[in-house]
Amino acid sequence: MNFSESSLDAERTAWTPPSPRPEVLHLRRGGTSVVLDLGASGGPAIVHWGEELADSTDESLRGLAVAARPQRVSGGLDVTPRLSVVATPAAGWLGSPALEGHRSGAGFSALFDVAGVQANDNRAVVALVDSEARLAAQVELRVGSAGLFHQRITLRNTGDTPYTVQSLQLAFPVPWDATELLDTTGRHLRERTPQRHAFTFGTHLRESRRGRPGADATLLLAAGRPGFGFETGRVHGVHVAWSGNHRVLAERTTTGEAFLAGGELLAPGEVVLAPGASLASPWVIGSWGDGLSELSHRFHDEWRQRPQHPARPRPVTLNTWEAVYFDHSLDKLTALADAAASVGVERFVLDDGWFAGRRDDTKGLGDWYVDATVWPAGLHPLIRHVRGLGMEFGLWVEPEMVNPDSDLARAHPDWILRGRMALPRSARQQQVLDLAHPEAYAYLAERLHAILDEHDIAYLKWDHNRDLVDAGSGPEGVARVHEHTLAVYRLIDELKAAHPGLEIESCASGGARVDLGILDRTDRVWTSDCLDPIERLANQRYTALVVPPEMLGMHLTSPVVHSTGRSVGLDLSAAVALFGHFGVEWDLTSADDDTRRRVAAWVALAQRIRGLVATGRTIDVDGTDPGVDVRGIVAADATSALFTITQTETTVAYPAGRIRMPGLDPARRYRVAVLTPGRDAHEDAGQSALEWASQTVVLTGRELAVTGLRPPVQLPQRSTLVELTALA
């Protein structure tokens, strides 16, 4: 299976085997309905996924199923094919199939019949068999507590010869009027950049062949009514909860079917099922809403209900990378720890450079022993100092990678993923260890357990700094991404089980491994290596379509951003980092006393509002002037909210037109106040000249959402914080 027992598998509700088998299944929960026609030609078919059909009866649901069945048309098959839960060519389906496979080049055809159904109000398991092809399948469909629609298929080889699986994917039908697509793309330092397309006839395909989702992967593939935004417009989207190669697609057929689909992308021969063996696909998860915000809230609400979801306040974190890079010394790092503690930092993370031979990125990776030449007394003096200041200690690791110039690679070249005699093309002077190799796995597990056993470490920053290229078990071996990914999951699960309370961050040269498969095991992601607040605005907005904000690493940066060279103000950097897991990526020993005082004020604000960030609803406001970004978080009980008004560039309207602040209780009255952390009130000239910012103003939630208020006149790269507090 592609998942260990995690929250994605954890619901264990009682089954009610229907007797006799119903014609239609209605799964409903969290405002979502899924209707399954069990009598459809070609196999069970989803006839509705979306808004809850609260007043439907058994009779009307049967009518809904019948109403969705297509008629025969000229020039087509005598029975018009339709999209079923396991659509295959043998059933007449000529679109992208759910299953492709063969037995040594033969036995490619599959046609499943329903063998049994188990169901309750929100979950169903449909058992399918093809006795001729000697295959069995089990399709799991579940509507989660917040209305997310989960699907997974497990395929079993019931024959006596091996069966090669080429592809296995799940389909989610979308309304016919969903004629616009949204996905994301990007690169290192610019992940999850949105792009839109017309949803026309044919297939829009996005694939990741990088052994991880990749910086250019789409976190979500969404289809909606033309012009859908964050606040309005019906939209449906799917996400593949898998950290290896994957694919998502949107397809519109001339037989009147429109759907989104996703699953793992398998290399040739990567999964060959022996007789009796089975393969479980990753969970593919669908959400919908009137606007992208409602769609994203389903992800956030359901993810937050997992038993392992971080429950304690997110510690303000300082990471040492951009402060010292590989220049490690006890004096330098203890001084940095002192500076961090003085501004209120609660977790101090030592980044790359602490282990044997690691003076730059060309050597040492894989030799997971503390470098005695740099740390003659080990890490203990630094950890004691950090802990003595009241901070937790965290450590950077990159367990899946190895430098060829390392003792590990020299001793065990056979542990490196490769498909040929020669090593794959290098990246960052490193290769990838084969965690599916039992000895390589045992070595890494032993080293990581030993480090955690010896040191008081509360947090691992788990990095993954290169794509997997030509990833196999050795010359003339088998493709290995699938088994490698499962091994990574297993290793993380084992470490967390053995070290209760350990938190792990998923970092992958920034945000190149952001998915709910890895996030079901880790406690946050590093959203991007780019800390430029202007660049981060879009990145954080579109990452939060799926990931709750408290799991997004957001740090304020140095005055000159390392990744872009842009000079940025402290207030802008901190304001953009505020609506996430707040931290610092900066050599604070270089900051003067006044700057540290201002940093401390922002840290204090982040600590004050982190409960709001961890439980509230994200708000992204549509319709603002180009150059003005408005976003916020509203408390779950709507008693308070915080919004940022960020000026990214100058506007044509001068002063800019009014901006709205939606998401509040329409009937409540809210006091509107500008926050100025680390500055005197109204220090900004634009705010001081704005009447509502310099006096007490009270507006209803409806007035704020419908009419709004004038934003301050700001220079580019400035941000204003507005706090809204409900009056008794």
Alpha-carbon distance 442 to 317, whole Å?
31
Closest to 542 (Cα-Cα) out of 511, 507, 575: 511
The answer to whether 440 and 405 are in contact (CB under 8 A) is no
**Burial (CB count within 10 angstroms: exposed 0-12, middle 13-18, buried 19+), residue 727:** exposed
Query: Beta partners for 26?
Result: 35
Written as six digits, the tokens of 435 are: 């965690």
Q: DSSP class of residue 713?
A: P
Catalytic residue among 351, 463, 523, 620: 463
Beta-carbon contacts of 343 under 8 Å, excluding residues fewer than 6 positions away, are 584, 588, 596, 599, 600, 603
For tokens 């250019």, what's the residue?
216
Whether residue 438 has a cis bond before it, omega within 30° of 0: no
**Helices marked H in 431-569:** 438-454, 481-498, 516-519, 533-543
For residue 254, report the phi and psi dihedrals to the nearest 5 degrees: -75, 0
Alpha-carbon distance 111 to 280, whole Å?
19
Q: Kindly calculate the radius of gyration of the chain based on its CA atoms and give it in whole angstroms.
A: 27
Closest to 199 (Cα-Cα) out of 259, 246, 239: 259
Is 463 an annotated catalytic residue? yes
Enclosing H/E stretch for 610? helix 593-615
DSSP string, 564-582: T--B--HHHHHHHHTTSEE
Q: DSSP class of residue 625?
A: P
- Cα 510–chain centre separation: 13
Catalytic residue among 351, 529, 571, 620: 529
Active-site amino acid positions: 463, 529
